[in-house]
Amino acid sequence: EDQVTQSPEALRLQEGESSSLNCSYTVSGLRGLFWYRQDPGKGPEFLFTLYSAGEEKEKERLKATLTKKESFLHITAPKPEDSATYLCAVQATKGAQKLVFGQGTRLTINP
């Protein structure tokens, strides 16, 4: 069974304090690993898709990396507007094209 575990559940940082969020996964064969950002009361907003180990993608203060067992979302010099819940999901190569989600990391950036 495909599984995704995110850690930590919640993280508080000071503005400018860099850190990383972790997404560990087990999947029969990885078609893609997705990162989403979700603000309270809203639907998830797509950030990145990663397809193979060693791949990296960047967007503003965010950088996502991928290994064969986990993905990291690195946040460099965060600002208060980066506060949100960050969701990780995997899509397997076999079977239905559904996304299996982790429970998310709730990130708070204090000014």
Partner 1 sequence: DVKVTQSSRYLVKRTGEKVFLECVQDMDHENMFWYRQDPGLGLRLIYFSYDVKMKEKGDIPEGYSVSREKKERFSLILESASTNQTSMYLCAAGPTGFGGNTEAFFGQGTRLTVV
Dist CA 47 CA 73 (whole Å): 10
Residue among 32, 55, 61, 72 that touches partner 1 (CB under 8 A): 32
Restricting to residues 79-108, name those near partner 1 by CB under 8 A. 87, 89, 91, 96-104
Based on the number of CB atoms within 10 Å of its own CB, is 54 exposed (0-12), middle (13-18) or buried (19 or more)? exposed
Nearest residue (CB) to partner 1, 96 versus 111: 96
Nearest residue (CB) to partner 1, 14 versus 97: 97
Residue 99 CB, nearest approach to partner 1 (Å): 6
Region class of 38: left (phi > 0), else alpha (psi between -120 and 50), else beta: beta
Residue among 7, 12, 31, 56 that touches partner 1 (CB under 8 A): 31
